[in-house]
Homo-oligomer: A and B are copies of this chain.
Amino acid sequence: MYEALELVPEAPLVCMPADDGEMLFAKDDWCEHALEIRSGIARAVSYSRGGDRQVMAFFFPGDIIGLPLFDAHRYSAEAVSGLRFARHPAERYRMGKEHYDQSAQKVAGAVWQEEKAFIARGLILGRVGALSRVAAFLGYLAEHLADEDRTMPFAIPQADIASYLATSPETVCRTLRGLRDRGLIAMTSRDRLKILDPAQLARLAAEGRTCRDVETTRFNSQAMRPKQAGRR
């Protein structure tokens, strides 16, 4: 009865639509519902005093966001485009409550799934150079919403991509054009993107331009080198 992350049938989980740009929940708000994304894309946003805004993560169909690791939401979430979602009572996912509908393992898995989105951005931003960041981002997108034909809906405003990648919209546009000209990707329509050469794209993401010290000091330095063998 409790297998999978299946929704419990007792509550009639309607699939609600959200307008583009609509806020789904706000940081520090009480965590009432967890949201399961049915279609479209959502974004996690950080507003700092000072007025600057950062897109911290994107979420895709199948993701469950707003899980009550705490009582309060850890970030603000907004709809990007074409979002439809279902609400789950947060109590179901609250840890340590005795009335588990889900096993704690499942809850932990869902939390980890949510956190991975934030960590992924860190790894992407860790790469220097717009080219490798964009390439890594496309690879990340493909993992989440590419079909068997390596085609995916690409309904994310370039301003959001720019904020996510910590670069300017112009650079995003130029880089995408560069990838298109080199035949690595194709954009048939405004909102459809096809990855033509995943291997080359991954290579760009990896070697695009890595900090020099990584190669050099890694094998010379002592403080750098892990002394315990056997990592991967």
Spell out A's residues near B (CB within 8 Å): 19-23, 26-28, 45-54, 56, 69-70, 74, 76, 78, 80-81, 95-97, 100, 103-105, 107-109, 111-112, 115, 118-119, 121-123, 125-128, 157, 159, 162-163, 166-169, 206-207, 210-215, 217-218, 221-228, 230-232
Copies in the complex: 2
CB contacts (< 8 Å) of A115 on chain B: these are 115, 118
- A132 → chain B, closest Cβ, in Å? 10
Contact assessment for B222 and A51 in the assembled complex, using a CB-CB cutoff below 8 Å: no
Contact assessment for A215 and B95 in the assembled complex, using a CB-CB cutoff below 8 Å: no
Can you pick out 5 interface pairs between chain A and chain B where the beta carbons lie within 8 Å of each other?
A21-B223, A23-B228, A51-B215, A70-B112, A118-B119
Contact assessment for B126 and A125 in the assembled complex, using a CB-CB cutoff below 8 Å: yes
Contact assessment for A168 and B69 in the assembled complex, using a CB-CB cutoff below 8 Å: no
From B112, B228, B231, A69 is in contact (CB under 8 Å) with B112
Contact assessment for B166 and A127 in the assembled complex, using a CB-CB cutoff below 8 Å: yes
